[in-house]
A and B are shown apart, each in its own frame.
Chain A
Amino acid sequence: MPLVAQTTVRGRVIDSKNNQTIPGVTVSVKGTYNAVLTDTDGNYKIDVPTSNGILVFKFVGYKTQEIEIGDKVSIDIAMNQEDIALDEVVVMGYSQKKRSEIASAVSIVTADKMAGVTTPNVANMLQGKVAGVEIVNSSGAPGQEAEVRIRGVASVSAPQGPLYVVDGIIGGSYDANDVETITVLKDAGATGMYGSQANGGVIIITTKKGKSQDTQFEFKATLGKRVADQGHLKMMSGSELYDAQKELYRDYASGKIDILKFYSERPRELRTRNFNWEGNMFQPAMVQNYYLSARKANEKSSYYIGGSLFNEEGTLINTGYKKLNLHANHTYQFSDKIRVDNNFNISAYDGTSYDYMDMYYSYLSLPWDNPYDSSGNPLFVDGTSTSWWSRDKINPLHTIKNSNHEYKGFDVNYDLVLDYKITNWLSFSSSNRLSASTTKSHDFVSKLAAGTYYGKGYINESSGLDYGGISTDLLKFNFDGKIHSFSGLVGVEGQQDHFESLGAEGKGLPEGFSVPAVASKELLIHGYKDASYMQSFISQFNYNYKSKYFFTGSYRIDATSAFPPKNRNAHFPSVSAAWLVSNENFLKDLKMVDMLKLRASYGITGMKDIGAYKYMGLFDLSTQYNSDAAAVPYQLANPDLTWEKTEQFNIGFDLGLFDRLTINLDYYRNVTRDLLIQVAQPLSVGFEKKWENVGRVNNNGLELTLSTILVKSSDFQWTFDITYGTNSNRLKGIDTPIYQTLNGISQIYRNNGELYVFNLPKWLGVDVQTGAPLWEHLEKDANGNVTSRTPTSEYADATAQEVGHALPKFQGGFNTFLKYKRVSLSMNVSYMYGNDVYNFTRKFMDNDGHEPYYNLMKWKSGWSRWKTPGDVATHPSIQNSALSTENSSRYLEDGSYLKLRNVTLRYEIPQNIVKKLKLQQLAVSFSGDNLLTLTKYWGQDPEVTITPSTYVMPGVSDFKYPPNKQYVFTLEVKF
């Protein structure tokens, strides 16, 4: 039996506009995985079957062309530049669409736009690049993930983050280096298909896949340095603090400083002591990332395998994070009907964390204390030390040396996808993922460390095991007609997740040992399990008429174990429509307009992640009395509890002009109903709160993205993008305001108010005559209207009022990219405006003499201390400052900022050198992150968390791990 005869076809590919050769074009035999790439001169050669071959030419930015091979052995073609706006294929999760067909608010970020950002997590790569997406780095701790908010805050109690989908399946794990594209789905037209998990938007990650017949290798090495960025916060030096403390000895009546008493209590030699705590606790740290991947595709299969090693030291001493990730995907075409994909991802990480108090003391310890003894070892300091000046007799350097806070984890994901073509218009696909992960944390303090564990030591270890899976089985249909086209899918999805934890804690460890087995007293064990289940029905229908009018409808039903039996199911419909005006006859020939699309969508999404058992009345069993089991009231029952649902309405347009300018504008109105809120109960009921479905949140906003290609010539390119998003947030339908308080700072949620509004006494400054602090006292009439405002120096009389809000008025970014021949420069800036931040650390670092043994922050210019009657000052007299550091609008500052997130300068080594080294591409780049922050905020960093949790209130800046400035050098090799 003769084999199918093969011949070799060669050719060259050029650009039809400028006749330049195009390297990297994929030339393949249609219907197979047989493909090659054109070389740097645009030449290719490929083996083809001698019968019925069609060559397909594909390249990003150009229209795909198909040419019958017939009996030709040489095929040269000129490719036409594509209308990217129309023809690019976008992964939408359960299905794929061409850009022209999308009727929803969707943003796409490709790998090239994310290059230059060195980070282990993907959220950081999106900063400032997608309108309507707010990304906050609330902590600079190594391994810390950024917080992501899409289109404002839609819930009070539920986690707000988006749903992540990796390679078409919900969940999953990946490394930033494996990412090819990120698609952000913003409105219900697109997210409706994810139903009860989609309130926070959906982020779809597509990993790199094999493309060509030649194995392609990619290697990237990044090496650099990071330093802590303390913003405007600087602590005083020994001499500055010494001079500032003279104020403590001022006599109020005479206004004079009792200098003799001062010298008697503050020896003059103190002024010469100056230990730099900040400089010693925070040190420059190294960051490294190594990535190697290989990929290939042929007629039957394609594969990609990539490994990445990331290692960052933390700027706070003894902290760091390491991660190793292996990602592989493999597609095998069994026959022309059956395709099977196998993907897996293994990731392992190991991090060293820190104790909050070590951070606290890094700032507040006095520069007059030297924490090192004469031999250079950290000094032991405890309550009996008489020569330690700082308020709390503790040396954080000694504590850090004698403690360890480690965590590690390991996770595995395996995907199996089966695609079966039943007929040419009907196919069946089954996507399945199994995942398992373990985590372990280890907190250890040696018995040598001064403080509460001295002489005993302390250990607390905890492990968690999480495993589960998801299976989505769909029937997909597709009729592509010249006039009418239909497509759609219908199917079911099931998910389950199981979690178990185990922990042990104890004290009484002998020196040098740090495992739970050696703890001898106060032994406690922890452990519990949890599970969740969800079953869904998914469907979608798409129709287009002559590629001008597009319509999509989807319907999903979810049933989940998180809700009481009577409210277990919920329905999520959505519809969207688009009009591709530029395909109409009257616009088709207008060269100026590349694309004009009008679109509108409406849909409902839900939120199920409120944590389990919220509807039950519960007594918590995890305590004991006299070593007997004891149960304590924990939660009030609510058998009517149900889902939060968001109705989303979006209209927008996409306009492309002159091949140079793209404008995307979206307006949205989202109403989240049946908010899950813990309604405050009078404390005398014995419960602080009860879960109820009460009220609504409205989020209305505008998103604008402007992308311009300012210059595009053969040698020089310059693009500039702007994103802008504004969101207005209103709480409705609650009769009595809800107050959330943490550390005494209060936020109020009231009808017609925004979320996260600070409710505190208003600071009026300092009384000119007495130097006492002033707050505002309000008198109200029977209807609650303010009838008078008077200043008072009695804190108990100050009236709490709405003084600021944590949510911004608008935010966005600028990106620009310049390329001249082989040198390119890119810059990314992100900005936020109108958010207020409560600078909680000032209570300690700017304490008006309440804490004479804490160090102070250096003052902002314009700040002054009241000394004698008649002084107009910002800070009260130290002798008359009772309660001046109590929570009020005094420490509420404007957190607006502009940050230069990334600047990257890249140079591609000339091809003649590259060829000599037998490589395909070689480039080096230098980049800097967080190089510049412009802000009025007088503290560490105006970027503060937007996620409420047990110890955290949105908009409040507590002692946190400072962000980093980072300088890295990267080498990229393709071969």
Chain B
Amino acid sequence: MVLNFKNTRMKTRIFQYLLLSGLLISGFGCVKDVSPSDAINTESLATTQDGILNVTNGCYALFKDNIEFNGTVDMNNNYLRQYFQLCDFASDDITCGQVTEDPLFYSFTLSHSPDQSNTRFFWYVSYKIINSNNTIIEIVDKVSDKTNDMKQLLGENYFLRAFCHFNLLKFYSKPYAIDPDAAGVIIRSSTTEPAQKARSSVKECYDFIISDLKKAAGLMNASRGVKYASKEAAWAFLSRVYLYMDDETNAIAYADSVINSGSFALEDATGYKTYFPNAATSPETIFLIAFTQADNKGKFGSIASMIYSDGNSGWGEEFASSSIRDAMSDHREDARWAYIDSLKDDDGGIVKKNGIETFYIKKFSYQDGDPNLSSPVMFRLAEMYLNRAEAYAKQGNSDKALDDVDMIRQNRGLEGSLYNRVIPNGYTALKVVLKERRIELAFEGHRAIDVYRNKLQMDRSYWGYHLSGLKESDIDLSTKPTGYANEIVDYTNPRIIYYIPVDETLANPLCLQNP
């Protein structure tokens, strides 16, 4: 009897303990769903209003951010830094003052390879932006009743998709004017298409870009300002695209649309001297990428760092070449000299770095007084005049071409030296236009493609470490260098463009490499 009683009491106690612990555990280890505290789940994007705005803003952010690539975040890897360096370091506007292990050096020496981290990153981040664009386009396309704001965002995404494809073509494919049937880049227009895809031809890519831009222009009626794409930016871009295609009529028509829109005005000579640090508020700017103080990359990664330094702010290893300075030397009153500045020593002489005279470039400095901060301009009004002038010159209309060139000159302090429709000796209208274009748009990512799409030669017979094997002791600034390889680069040289990244050709065999 006693035993039985003890047994039940024991049993109850056991059950009590088990119940208690069961409660403890189920409360304790209850497996809940955990969501990240700082990221948006793709599935929820379509359902929140904010989501589409945030992702579109993210596309702009990708132009300036250093994102993880190859397992690391390299401060040197951001879209815009590579964009300007890949173009201008291969041109005759900038000379190299110091040998370096950084792959930017290969743009100077033309010793490209498919595993350069800068070209691989540029390809990758461009397509990441395109993927974002495609995600938004697919979501918004399904919405039946789009608000004006939503249409604006949709238009911006079309614009950016076209912009990224166009810039990819610039670096990885032959210019349209040389061969429209050459291999272009991979067109990505959907998030669900197969990962393996071949390159489209240059012409197919241009058609795709034009179609995107026309859609964009039609949708963007609620502009968010110059820090974002707008209808006028789409027109300005179309003007550039048609110019590169040698379609003069359309290039002129779209340049006209922008110039006659009344929304923009050229900076005058005084205003131009402080234009770039204040581009966001200037009437000349059509579209730029906004950098805030939080985006200041400092010495390790700002666009300014390689081409400008105040002693500490940057590396300051690449300088304005003697070639561009000679082109501008006739007119020291030119307002555009404000952006070329040499480092002087205590006696007033120009300091040399490894034998090369320092001529810093200031177009990417001094926003908010910081030597490394600027919001780079992608489209501005001056380019529209120059696009139009080049198109007129190619149509044979030299008067109108020179008028547009003069329009620029009289706003750059050269009102005393206008062409007044007279072509100087030894020049053609086209040469005059291209020279003005070079000086006006120097260091803004235009020169290399402007030279090659016009089937000209790049002449870099000036001192700099692009000359392989150069020793400081070989430099004699009073003469020009002779006998070095790659001083003159012809437009037929396969190295006017870069190799497709090795990661792409390995994982996507349908994408063929450049010769």
Q: Does B128 contact A (CB under 8 A)?
A: yes
- Measured in the bound complex, the distance between the Cα atoms of B508 and A430 in whole Å is 56
Pair A621/B313 contact, Cβ less than 8 Å: no
Q: Is the CB of A533 within 8 A of B58?
A: no
Give the residue name and chain of the B residue nearest to A569 (CB): B31
* Pairwise interchain contact A687-B131, C-beta atoms closer than 8 A: yes
Tell me the complex Cα distance, A428–B21, Å. Answer: 11
If A616-B36, A632-B67, A683-B124 are given as contacts, then 5 extra A-B residue pairs at C-beta distance below 8 Å, sorted by A number, are A559-B31, A619-B42, A632-B132, A682-B504, A843-B101
* B99 / chain A contacts, CB cutoff of 8 Å: 850-851
Asked if A533 and B195 sit within 8 Å, CB to CB, the answer is: no
Residues B149-170 near A (CB distance < 8 A)? none
Q: Is A622 an interface residue (CB 8 A)?
A: yes
Contacts of A637 on B, CB cut-off 8 Å?
Answer: 42-43
Interface residues of A in 372-424 (CB under 8 A from B): 382-384, 386, 420, 422
Contact of B70 among A450, A535, A688 (CB under 8 A): A688
B residues 70-97 touching A (CB-CB < 8 Å): 70-73
Contact A684 B25 (CB under 8 A): no
Check if B299 is an interface residue, CB within 8 A of chain A: yes
Partner pick for B124 among A532, A688, A736, CB 8 A cutoff: A688
**Contact for B30 among A455, A533, A536, CB less than 8 A:** A533
Across-interface contacts of B111 in A (CB, < 8 A): 796, 882-883
- Tell me if B54 counts as interface (CB < 8 A to partner A): yes
Check B29 against A493 for contact (C-beta < 8 Å): yes
A524 to B294, CA, bound (A): 7
B69 within 8 A of A: yes
Q: Are B309 and A683 in contact (CB under 8 A)?
A: no
Question: Is B3 an interface residue, CB under 8 A from the partner?
Answer: no
Query: B492 near A: Cβ within 8 Å?
Result: no
A631-B67 Cα distance, complex, nearest whole Å: 12
Beta-carbon contact of A682 and B507 below 8 Å: yes
Question: Can you list 20 pairs linking A and B with CB atoms under 8 Å apart?
Answer: A383-B316, A386-B345, A495-B29, A524-B294, A530-B34, A533-B29, A536-B29, A565-B33, A616-B41, A623-B58, A625-B57, A631-B55, A680-B503, A682-B197, A682-B504, A683-B127, A683-B501, A882-B468, A948-B71, A950-B72
Contact with B along A582-624 (1 / 0, CB 8 A): 0000000000000000000000000000001100111111111
Q: Would you call B31 and A561 a contact (CB within 8 A)? A: yes
How far, in angstroms, from A493 to B28 measured CA to CA in the complex?
A: 9
**B414 lies within 8 A of chain A by Cβ:** no
Q: Does B24 contact A (CB under 8 A)?
A: yes
B25 touches A686 (CB 8 A): no
Q: With contacts A451-B299, A626-B292, A632-B61 known, is A684 near B54, CB below 8 A?
A: no
B29 touches A534 (CB 8 A): yes
B188 CB contact (under 8 Å) in A530, A686, A883: A686
Question: A680 — which chain B residues lie within 8 A by C-beta?
Answer: 503, 506-507
Smallest CB gap from A471: residue in B: B28
Q: Chain B residues with Cβ under 8 A from A627's Cβ?
A: 292, 294
Q: 8 Å CB contacts to B: which residues of A534-564?
A: 534-536, 559-561
A18 contacts across to B, CB distance below 8 A: none
Q: Does B469 contact A (CB under 8 A)?
A: yes
Please encode chain B, from 466 to 493, with 1 for each CB lying within 8 Å of some chain A CB and 0 for all others. 0011011100000000000000000000
Q: Given contacts A469-B28, A495-B29, A621-B40, is CB(A626)–CB(B60) below 8 Å?
A: yes
| Whole-angstrom CA separation of A669 from B503 in the bound complex | 34
- Rounded to whole Å, the gap between the CB of A936 and the closest CB of chain B is 27
Known interface pairs A471-B25, A619-B45, A626-B60; A683-B36 also in contact (CB < 8 Å): no
- Quote the shortest CB–CB distance from A117 to chain B (angstroms): 34
- Measured CB to CB, the closest approach of chain B to A500, in angstroms, equals 9
Tell me if B128 and A633 are in contact (CB < 8 A). yes
Task: List residues 35-56 of chain B with CB under 8 A from any CB of chain A.
Answer: 35-43, 45, 50-51, 54-55
Q: Which of A25-55 contact B (CB under 8 A)?
A: none
> In the bound complex, do residue A521 and residue B293 qualify as a contact, i.e. CB atoms below 8 Å apart?
yes
| Candidates A454, A561, A624; contact of B32 at CB < 8 Å | A561
Chain B residue with minimal CB distance to A629? B54
- With the chains together, A687 CA to B33 CA distance in Å? 26
List, in ascending order, chain B residues with CB within 8 A of A851's CB.
Answer: 99, 101
Is A612 touching B36 in the complex (CB atoms < 8 A)? yes
Question: 7 nearest interchain CB pairs?
Answer: A494-B29, A686-B131, A617-B42, A452-B299, A682-B508, A535-B29, A454-B312
Kindly identify which residue among A258, A492, A619, A683 contacts B55, using a CB–CB cutoff of 8 Å: A619
**Contact present for B29 and A685 (CB under 8 Å):** no
List residues of chain A with CB within 8 A of the CB of B472: 265
Contact with A along B292-305 (1 / 0, CB 8 A): 11101011100000
Are B58 and A619 within 8 A (Cβ)?
A: yes
Contact of B131 among A249, A265, A524, A685 (CB under 8 A): A685
The chain A residues found within 8 Å of chain B, CB to CB, are: 248-249, 258, 261, 264-265, 382-384, 386, 420, 422, 428, 430, 450-455, 469, 471, 473, 475, 492-496, 521-524, 528-536, 559-561, 565, 568, 612-613, 616-634, 637, 680-688, 736, 739-744, 795-796, 843, 850-851, 879, 882-883, 885, 948, 950-951, 953
- The answer to whether B61 touches A624 (Cβ under 8 A) is yes
In the complex the two chains form, is B39's CB within 8 Å of A422's CB?
no
Alpha-carbon separation in the docked complex, A739 to B73 (Å): 18
Give the docked Cα–Cα distance between A535 and B72 (Å): 35
B247 at interface (Cβ–Cβ under 8 A)?
Answer: no
Which residue of chain A lies nearest to B41 when distances are taken between CB atoms in the complex?
A616
- Does B65 make an interface contact (CB < 8 A)? yes
Chain A residues in 8 Å Cβ range of B188: 684-686
CB-CB < 8 A to B70: which residues of A?
A: 688, 741-742
A842 CB, nearest partner CB in chain B, Å: 13
Could you tell me if A450 and B127 are in contact, using CB atoms closer than 8 angstroms? no
Q: Please judge, given known A-B contacts A450-B312, A617-B43, whether A796 and B71 are in contact too, CB under 8 Å.
A: no
Q: Mark B8-19, 1 if CB is under 8 A from A, else 0.
A: 001000100110
Contact B24 A471 (CB under 8 A): yes
B309 touches A620 (CB 8 A): no
With A493-B29, A522-B296 as contacts: A684 and B508 at CB distance below 8 Å: yes
Which residue from A452, A493, A686 sits with its C-beta under 8 Å from B127?
A686
Q: Is B290 interfacial (CB-CB < 8 Å)?
A: yes
Given the complex of chains A and B, what is the CA–CA distance between A495 and B227 in angstroms? 49
The CA-CA distance from A885 to B26 in the complex, in Å, is 59
**Residues on B with beta carbons closer than 8 Å to the beta carbon of A568:** 31
Q: Which residue of B lies closest to A736 (CB)?
A: B507
A470 smallest CB distance to B (angstroms)? 8
The CA of A741 and the CA of B113, in the complex, are separated in Å by 15
Complex Cα distance, B28 from A533, in Å, reads 8
* Contact A496–B42 (Cβ < 8 Å): no
Residue of B nearest to A522 (CB): B293
User: In the docked arrangement, what's the CA distance between A616 and B38, Å?
Assistant: 13
In the complex, are the beta carbons of A628 and B57 less than 8 A apart? yes
Decide yes or no whether B396 CB sits under 8 A from chain A.
no
Whether the Cβ atoms of A684 and B127 lie closer than 8 Å is: yes
B292 partner residues in chain A, CB cutoff 8 A: 624, 626-627
In the bound complex, CA of A382 to CA of B314 (Å): 10
A571 CB to nearest chain B CB (Å): 15
Pick the contact of B504: A430, A617, A684, A879 (CB < 8 A).
Answer: A684
CB contacts (< 8 Å) of A249 on chain B: these are 471, 473
B199 → chain A, closest Cβ, in Å?
Answer: 9
Any A CB within 8 A of the CB of B117: yes
B294 near A455 with CB under 8 A, answer: no
Contact check, A618 vs B36: say whether CB atoms are below 8 A apart: yes
B24:A560 contact, CB within 8 angstroms: no
Inter-chain contact B313/A452, CB cutoff 8 Å: yes
Q: What residues of B have a CB within 8 angstroms of the CB of A634 in the complex?
A: 39
B294 contact set on A, CB distance < 8 A: 522-524, 624, 627
Complex: A617 Cα to B36 Cα, angstroms = 11
Quick one: which of A248, A533, A535, A633 contacts B132, CB cutoff 8 A?
A633
Cα separation A494 to B99 with both chains bound (whole Å): 59
With a cutoff of 8 Å between Cβ atoms, the chain A residues found around residue B117 in the complex are 744
Contact of B41 with A617 in the complex, beta carbons under 8 Å: yes
B62 at the interface (CB under 8 A from A): yes
Chain B residues, Cβ within 8 Å of A795 = 113
* Cα-based distance from A631 to B472 in the complex (angstroms): 48
